[in-house]
Structures are given as structure tokens and as C-alpha cells.
Structure 1
Amino acid sequence: MKHQKLMKNDTATLNGLWARLLIKELVHHGVRSFCIAPGSRSSALVAAAARAPLAETFVHYDERGLGFHALGYAKSHGRPVAIIVTSGTAVGNLLPAVMEAHHDHIPLIILTADRPPELQDCGANQTSVQRGLFKEFVRWEGELPCPDGKVVQSYVGTTVSQMVSHASLEPRGPVHLNCQFRKPFFGKDEQVTSHQAQTSLSFGKRVVEDKEQIELAEMLGQYEKGVILVSGEAKEAEELSKRLQWPIFPDVLSPVRSRETASYYDLMIRAIGTHEDFAPNAVLQFGDRFVSSALYDWLSFKRPKVYCQIASHHKRKDPIHGVTHRVVGEVPNLPCYVQERSSSKWLDGWKELNELTAKGVAAYFDHHQELTEPHLFHRLEGEVFFFANSMVIRNADAFFVPEKGAQTFGNRGLSGIDGNIATVAGIARGCERPVTALIGDQAFLHDLSSLAQLKDLPVKLIVINNQGGDIFSFLPIDQDLFKPYFSTPHTADFKHAASLFGLRYENPTTIDELLEIPHGTLVEVKTKPGDNLKIHQEVLENLKISINRFNQPDL
């Protein structure tokens, strides 16, 4: 009996020691945020994170919402965020967030607790195969055996260093460490001295050699009719636009987007269609992907001679298979090597077209001042935004032009409607600034439990309630199928959801009322099904008429 008791105490002590080593090494490598879902098997990891002096913790009862919260926090901070969950379905509930993080290159550290080998494949409660569950969606995966005094403690530290390096190197993304624990999970003696952190990591950035930048600049300089696409940060874009005399088309999630760029490019290319005067011969793209399907259709049809994509990673992000030159790394000197052009009719033409489109959109909403979704995006104000997927981000792409320097977020890795509220909470907690978030009713209902995360956060959550999936009205679907199988209308009253989670609630009827509502409020905007399609069609028809009257100089 005495021997058995000693063995149990050793197990508890070793569990606590390894857990503290693991968390301490993560903190050493700059991981400060730990998102935790309650569980028994993971209790040693939770205790270690809770007691780590430099760690900050966030606890949520729903693992799916927890995963997306961590995703949002990592988006706003740019640093890896750790997630701690227990075994079983708790692990499976992280899959949607891990998939999104994989495709959007967001560094998440997934720490899952697991049963020991003797409890695997024998019907033990809450036990399943966990290693390999995220196989296709993680940059690295590993497994820590049950803590053992015969294993050198530095093994834990070097494993963590290996994990963090894979999460942090381009292309960044999620990693998974499965941690086996035997009972008892931890004991009263939690003061065992642990070793210092073992490894230091230094990450450099790949800068393209000057010779390659010169060759790239010479190639681009051969073409007068080009466009610059920006889907993320691109410090060089503005200067390159001036030197090449090419317009900048900024994605709705790019911080480059403002009134100083061709931000109405989506509406413009829909309106001009196959107009040959506006056909580019060259494209320079910074970043990964664009929300606008019209842009991809346009480029696919035009097939420019040169399509150069510059990104920080080697992953292929080329859905139309049009890229002719792929550059991996930074090109800080590229503008210096581009020979500066004088004023260009090509750039002047795009500027005039963008101004014409801006005036056309403004004129339409001056005449139609009722509270509609497109009008809301046209008038939207703020500094930090989040746009949920489906119809919301498409309205933003068409009508939203922020002030210069605004931050805009979205979950465009896989563009799902799950976890959007939790992502908003993570972003608000990470950036520590007021966030204006827009979300559709279906995405809202999909992540209802994550409203608990918004308590005391400076978030104005605007829920657009058009009684279903209005985006499907843009598709040629037979009416007998539309409502029951695509629109899926509902009668939910979101005021009750606000009350349930202790949130302030407002239901404005005008744009001005909506803009005056403070952050920390759930705002329900009720709109008519089908209005989106009607307004998009009317705005586009008006623009086509204006463009046909546009006396375009010879480009």
C-alpha cells in the first residue's frame, strides 16, 4: 500500500512538473495568451497556465467558440495563441477553427490532454484517437508521453521550441501537441523546482535579392496598362502606383483600402464588363486572396501577359491559375528600381472611373435613404471592423470605403459562417480598441453561445436580420426550392438573445440612429428579404449608363 501511494504521488508531481515546463517554455517563446475550456484530464495544464506569472488566460465553456476566440486574438495580435482542452469531443470541436487558421495562416498552439496508452482502444470513457485528428490542417503535430522521471526534462522544452518554430515560420499556422496524463492529475505539492527554458528561437524574414528586384522592376516597367492588387499589408504599393502609374485595387480586408485607392473596383469591373479599353496587360499582386469573385472572373477573361504575385510564403493561392511569376519574400527596394513615368492616361482613366462610381453610389443612397444593408455599408463609420462571411462581406466589398488607416478583419481562410461572434470577441480583446462588427442572422444563430464572450467588451455587434440566407437570392434557384432549402427563414427575436446574455440591445430604424449607438451593444437591423439583389442590380444599371456616357480618352 505504501509503495502504491508513493507511485501515485510521483505521478501527480510529475504531471505538474511537466505541465509547468511546457507552459514556461511557451511563455519564454512569447506565447502570452492561453484560451482554456474546463476539463479534468487537462487540469495539470490549466493549473500551470493559471499560475504562470506572465500568462493571461481566457476561459469559455464551448470549445468551438474558444477556438475561434483564439483565432481572433491571434489575428489582432499577430502572435501565437495557445488553446488548452481536455480529451474526447472537446478536441473535435476545435476542428473548424483549426481549418480556418490553416488556410488563413494564423498561428495557434493546440494543447490537448489525452488518456494514457493502456486506456486507448479499449472502450475507456471519453477516449478516442486524437493524434492525427488535425492531420491535414496543422504545420506540425507531436505527442508527449505520460510524464516519466526517467525522461530528461529538457525533452519537454525542446519539443515546445520545435512546435513554436513550426507555428511561427512562413507559412504560419496551427500546430498540435497531444499530451497524455495518468491519474492523479496533480497533487498539493506544486512547488517542485523546474529547469529554466532550454532554447531560444530567432526568426528572420526572407528579403528578395536586389538583382531579382531589379529584374522584376524592369519586367513590370515594360507595361503601361497594369493594376496593383493588394489583399494585405503592402508598404511598397503606394510608391509603385506613382512610379508605374497603375491603379491600386485593395481587397476589402486590406488596410490599404481608402478613398485614395480604386476601392470601388468590384463595382467598376462589373459595370465595364469586357470593355477592351480597360484590359490590363500586367498585374502585380501583394498577398493571397480577394473577396471579389468579379475580379477573378475579369482577370481570368482578360488573361494579362504578366501576373506577378508577391507573398511571404510558398503556398499556391492562384484559383484562376493565371500567375506567371511568383515571388516569395519581401521586396523593400522594388520601388527604387522602377523607372518613374510621367502622368498616364491609363491611371487617369481609372481614377475618373472610380470617382464616377463613388458619385453614382452616393447619389443612389441620397435618393434611397431607407435603412438597407448596402446603405449601411456605404455610411459605416469606425476604426476597427469585422465583417462576417456570406452576404455581409460582399456588401462590404461593394460599398464600404473606410478612412485611411482603418483595420478590417474577417475569416476568409475557408469563409465559413461558424465562430464569427467568438472571433470578434478575440479581436476586441486582442486589439483593445472598439470594434464594429457586422454579421448576418444565420451566422449569428450559428454562434449564439459565443455572445457570452462579448460581456464588457467594446463591441458594437450589428446583426442584419433579413429572415434567412438572402445571399442565395443572387443564384438562379427555382422558387419552389429557394425558401425551404436555401433561404431557411426563421422567426427568431434577437432581443431575447441580448437579454439572455446580459447585453444592451437596440433596434434602430434609420442610419443616423444606428451610427449614434455606442459600442457594447447588440444592434439588430431588420431588412427585407430580396432587397440586396434589387439594390445591387439598380446601382449596377445606373453605373453602366453613366459609364456609357463617360467620354473615355484613348488609353
Structure 2
Amino acid sequence: MTNKEILTSYVYKLVASLYQAGVKDVVVSPGSRSTPLAYAFAHAKEFQMYRQVDERSAAFLALGLAKASARPVVLVCTSGTAAANYFPAIVEAKLSRIPLIVLTADRPHELREVGAPQAITQPNLYGDQVKWTVDFPIPDEFPNTLPFVERHIARAVAIAVTAPAGPVHVNVPFREPLLIDLQNQLPEGSFAESIAQEIRPSEHAMNVLETIIENAKKGIVIVGEIAQNADLEIVWNFIRHLKWPVLVESLSHLRTNIPNDCVDYIIDQYDALLKNETFKTVAECDTVIRFGSQPVSKPLMQFLTKIQPPTYLVVDEDPMFRDSLAITTHHIQATISRWLDDVTITTATTDQTYVRAWVEANQIATRHVEAYLQEATDEGALAATLFEHLPEHSDLFASSSMPIRDVDTFFNKTIKDVRIYANRGANGIDGVVSTAIGTQLATKRNSYLLIGDLAFLHDSNGLIATRYQRCDITIVVMNNDGGGIFSYLSQSTVEEHYEELFGTPSGLQFANLAKMYDAQYNEVFTKEELIQVLDAPKEKPLRIIEVMTNRSENVQSHRKLWDSIGKELDEKWQA
């Protein structure tokens, strides 16, 4: 065989094995060393290929695709620092449990650590931030090379999608020349399939859960971000039978599309309620059942730390369950699946007065939030205006820092079909634009990104993706000229150096950026202007709405709202 024939067989065995394992989407960044892979993916009709020239943004684009589709997505890049630019998204994927298959093309072994250009040490480049890594052999005629490639690709995909899902790294060295013969059909493989197994709890675990429920007097359920492919109807069925207060984080997908018989038990204002000392006393519980990740809400975390519930049960598919508070008393390793329907729920001991207190307090807070939305003009009120005007069957992506907190505070529970996404694994502001675009490309729904000016600047390169594939998305930039989140933290109490270190105003606006990407651009200052823009038909697939806000006004308005809620809670429960 010629060198070109050997390389072609090798690359198509790799690509065909990915397809056989169920991979359909691939994000490619240009580069020389990855030429064989790029050509094979581009020519294979079995794959949907997306392009992004900035590798950091490309990795977050793939993250968004995998997050929204709940399927593994392949990343392809050339050697050197291109691979290093994937690192932030890989960290987020590991912590958020998103399946990425990272293919990094590499120099051949003889060009490693000898000063060759564009060559860094790529094997084990991502360390513990990937679930598994493998350094592939160079393409050759050795009989076991192609079977090795086929089975190790099957292994890589299986590891990536097995709960808890996460990224894997396949390092692929190539010698020059790098051109292949384009094939119109993927080759057949000898490996049939890797069959995943559902993680179900043991009979003992089921008995423990049933006993905990039966003995609980004052119990609450907390639902954080759960696996994107989880069957929510199973969760709803559990809620409707348990009839406990359910504190739902916005990323749980349980604040929206709520069944009528579950609405009363959904507590969406817990963040505001647990800022009040009086209600925290009323809310003390003996039992907590938590599904998914730990919540965003700091008041909730502080409340749980303070009361140390005697029984705190976590259901998580990973034996290394998430518990930064060190308060878990029981852990059940399981995915959310049909086993939950088999739990016998006996709630004879449930304190109904306690349940009603949560429901009534949530109604109080909701009234104040709704009044606030009518009267206030700050960033929170503007964000809430966006939430109210999201159309049916749409997606909202929230950036870290203030946007996700505004979602947690002002996105009221609803029967509308809206799905909310965010990068809350590492909570960074890097790659937010790209991840949001990735989710839109996966869902094909009406998509909105709520983001601050600094996070938007941080990933403005993410907009390059809109030049290579149609991205139908509205980006709402809350421009408060700096880092708004720090206004709520202790740093804001030290005036000296605050602005230069934390406020970090840039004085930048985004009209020219929108023009560069041929985006529709609207600048708004009021809720009325925002409503008018949101209600008007889009003129272009990419729309950027820049909302001008004031950091100090935002803090004052938020605190006024929390005070008004706290005052009524005091009046009701201090009597």
C-alpha cells in the first residue's frame, strides 16, 4: 500500500468508528496537521460539520451542541497551542458532565520534544480534566493498528457518554504528506456496539429512600441542574405524589412547562425568601432530598449549612457526589429513570402547615417581584422583561455572574415551554457566546442569550461562527460598563481601587461589533423600548440588543425588593 492509502484507511476507520458509536456532530477548526481528519469529516455525508476558526470558541460551540442535544460531539484541531485553547471548555464539560470527543492532531513521535515547530507535549495534555485519554499509533500497515483504532474509538465514546458523562481526549499523530483519498462511503467495522447500562439503585437504597420519606415531618426537595437527557415526566410524577415543597433551580428545566397539578409545590422564590431571618426559622426542615447539582443560590447554601438537616439525601449518578457543604447523610448512586416510579411514597407524617408556609411565602415573594417589575427600571427589571416576553418554544442561555442570578431571582415559574441553559460547572464567563450559539444550532428553536458586557467582550470571537453557519439567535447585552456582580460582594465596601480592579469599566459599546458581523442592532434604555424591540419581527438571524444599565441603581433596587419581601414575611410569621 502507498502512504496515502495507509493514511486514508486509518482516518476513515477512525471516522467510521465514531459514526458507528452514534456520533453525528463535529466542530472543526482549520489547521495543517489535522488535514486528514478535516477532509474525511467534511466529505462524509453522515456527519453535520460546524466550523469555527478560534479554537477556544470552537470548543465552547461543541459544548453547547452537546449540552442541548445530550449527544457526544467531536472536536477537531491541529497540533500545538490550538489544542491548548480547548482547555477552558474541557474543564466546563468535565464539571457539567457534557460528552465531548476531543481529537487533537499531533506531530509524529520523532518530532516531539526536539524543537519541531508547532509541537507541544499533547499526550495527557488535559490531565484530570478528561475522563480518559489515549495517544493513538501512527498510521501504518501493522495488522492490529486499525482494530486498535476502531475499538479505542468505541471505548472513547462509551466512556464519554457513560454517567457521569464528560470529555475524553484522543491524540492522533500524523506524518506528512497529509492528503487522503476522499471516500464516498464509510467502511464497515468489525466492532458491533458498546451497550450502556442504566445505573439503578439497589433494593436497600430504595428501602432507605422510602423510609426517609415515610419518617419525614418537614421535608423539602431541591432540584439543581440534572442530566439533559433525564426524563422530566418521571420527576414530575415523583413531585405530584410526594407533595413536598420543591425548590427548583432555573437550570433544572422544572420552572417551565409545569403540569397544572404540580404548580403549587414548585418554589421558585427561595433565594429571596432565605434572605429573611424570620422565614429561615419557619423553613427549618428535618429532611432534604436533592437531585442534580448543587444550586446557584448562596442564601440557600448558607441556610442548609446553618441548619444541618438531620437527613440530607443526594441522588447522583456519580459515586463522587457533589457536596461542598459536607452535610450529605445518604447518597444513592443512580440516574433519574423509571426506578423512581417504583418508590413507595407514604406521607402520613408530613407537616401540612410546613408545606403551606412554603407555598404562602412563595406567593408573597412572587407578588412583590411582580410589583417590582412594574415599578423598577434597573437591570433586574429589564432582565425580567426579557423573561416575560420569551415566546413559546424558545431557549434562554444565561451567562455567569449577574445574568444567571437574575434568572434565579426573576424568572418566575410558568407553564410555557422555555428551556434555560448556562455554564455552571466552573461558573466562568469564557465561551458564553459560543456555548449559546451551540445550543441554538442543536435545538433549532428561538434562542436568546442574556449576557453582561464583560462576558460578551470575553467571547466576542464566538460570533465568527455566524459567518460559517446560520445561527438564529438574539443576544441581549446588559451593558453596565463593568463587572456588576462585584457590587454585591465585600469588595464593593472598599472604595479605594474598587473600580480599577473589580468594576473594570471599559467604556465600550457594541454597535460597531454588530455592524462587523452584519447583525441587527438595537440600543435600548427602558423596559418599554426593550418590549418594542422584542415584539418586533427580527430583521436578521443574528440580533444584538444592547441594554444600557447602571450598576449602583441595580444594587439599590435589588436590596429594596428583598427588604419589601422580608418585611411582609416578618409581619406574617413574627406575630
TM-score by length of 2: 0.90
Secondary structure, in 3 states, of the residue corresponding to 1:141? strand
Matched, 1:107 2:99: yes
CA contact (8 A) 2:268 2:413 kept: no
Query: What does residue range 34-183 of structure 1 map to in structure 2 within 5 Å?
Result: 34-152=26-144, 153-183=146-176
Q: Which amino acid aligns with 2:396?
A: F
2:480 corresponds to = 466
Moved more, 338-347 or 404-413: 338-347
1:6 corresponds to = none
Deviation at 1:195, TM superposition (A): 4.7
Deviation at 1:509, TM superposition (A): 2.9
2:559 corresponds to = 537
- Please tell me the root mean square deviation across aligned C-alpha atoms, in Å: 2.1
Q: How many residues align?
A: 544
2:400 corresponds to = 389
Deviation at 1:247, TM superposition (A): 0.3
CA contact (8 A) 2:16 2:188 kept: no
| Distance (Å, rounded) in 1 between the aligned partners of 2:560 and 2:82 | 48
Q: Which amino acid aligns with 2:178?
A: F
Deviation at 1:73, TM superposition (A): 0.2
1:5 corresponds to = none
Query: What does residue range 209-224 of structure 1 map to in structure 2 within 5 Å?
Result: 209-224=202-217
Matched, 1:246 2:236: no
Matched, 1:284 2:289: yes
| Distance (Å, rounded) in 1 between the aligned partners of 2:544 and 2:345 | 49
Q: Which amino acid aligns with 1:353?
A: A
Q: Which amino acid aligns with 1:447?
A: D
CA contact (8 A) 2:382 2:526 kept: no
CA contact (8 A) 1:221 1:244 kept: no
Deviation at 1:339, TM superposition (A): 1.1
CA contact (8 A) 2:132 2:168 kept: yes
Matched, 1:338 2:360: no
Deviation per residue, 1:405-463 (Å, 9 max, x gap) = 42110001101000000001100000111111101100000001111224532211101
Secondary structure, in 3 states, of the residue corresponding to 2:450? strand
Secondary structure, in 3 states, of the residue corresponding to 1:106? coil
Query: What does residue range 314-463 of structure 1 map to in structure 2 within 5 Å?
Result: 314-329=319-334, 330=336, 332-334=338-340, 336-341=343-348, 344-368=352-376, 370=377, 372-377=379-384, 380=387, 381-382=389-390, 383-404=394-415, 405-454=417-466, 456-463=470-477
CA contact (8 A) 1:208 1:331 kept: no
| Distance (Å, rounded) in 2 between the aligned partners of 1:173 and 1:130 | 19
Cα 1:374–1:17, aligned 2, differ >3 Å: closer, same or farther? same
Deviation at 1:191, TM superposition (A): 7.7
| Distance (Å, rounded) in 1 between the aligned partners of 2:103 and 2:186 | 23
Deviation per residue, 1:5-55 (Å, 9 max, x gap) = xxxx82222122111110111011110111000111111111111121211
| Distance (Å, rounded) in 2 between the aligned partners of 1:210 and 1:142 | 37
TM-score by length of 1: 0.93
Secondary structure, in 3 states, of the residue corresponding to 1:75? helix
CA contact (8 A) 2:380 2:410 kept: no
Secondary structure, in 3 states, of the residue corresponding to 2:288? strand
Q: Which amino acid aligns with 1:541?
A: D
Cα 1:334–1:113, aligned 2, differ >3 Å: closer, same or farther? closer
Q: Which amino acid aligns with 1:534?
A: Q
Deviation at 1:187, TM superposition (A): 4.4
Cα 1:175–1:333, aligned 2, differ >3 Å: closer, same or farther? closer
Moved more, 523-532 or 228-237: 228-237
| Distance (Å, rounded) in 1 between the aligned partners of 2:183 and 2:169 | 26
Secondary structure, in 3 states, of the residue corresponding to 2:244? coil
Secondary structure, in 3 states, of the residue corresponding to 1:270? coil
CA contact (8 A) 2:36 2:180 kept: no
CA contact (8 A) 1:242 1:340 kept: no
Moved more, 275-284 or 488-497: 275-284
Q: Which amino acid aligns with 1:229?
A: I
Deviation at 1:551, TM superposition (A): 5.0
Deviation per residue, 1:283-304 (Å, 9 max, x gap) = 0001112111111111000110
Matched, 1:306 2:311: yes
| Distance (Å, rounded) in 2 between the aligned partners of 1:193 and 1:361 | 57
Matched, 1:508 2:524: yes
2:8 corresponds to = 16
| Distance (Å, rounded) in 2 between the aligned partners of 1:453 and 1:403 | 32
1:4 corresponds to = none
Deviation at 1:188, TM superposition (A): 5.0
Deviation per residue, 1:221-257 (Å, 9 max, x gap) = 2111111001135545444444444200001211111
Secondary structure, in 3 states, of the residue corresponding to 2:496? helix
Deviation at 1:122, TM superposition (A): 1.1
What stretches of structure 2 of length at least 5 have no aligned partner?
Answer: none
Q: Which amino acid aligns with 2:363?
A: E
What is the percent sequence identity of the aligned residues?
A: 28
Deviation at 1:340, TM superposition (A): 3.9
Deviation at 1:66, TM superposition (A): 0.3
| Distance (Å, rounded) in 2 between the aligned partners of 1:74 and 1:516 | 30
Cα 1:60–1:312, aligned 2, differ >3 Å: closer, same or farther? same
CA contact (8 A) 1:217 1:334 kept: no
| Distance (Å, rounded) in 2 between the aligned partners of 1:492 and 1:517 | 26
CA contact (8 A) 2:378 2:550 kept: no
Cα 1:265–1:378, aligned 2, differ >3 Å: closer, same or farther? farther
Deviation at 1:220, TM superposition (A): 2.1
Q: Which amino acid aligns with 1:127?
A: A
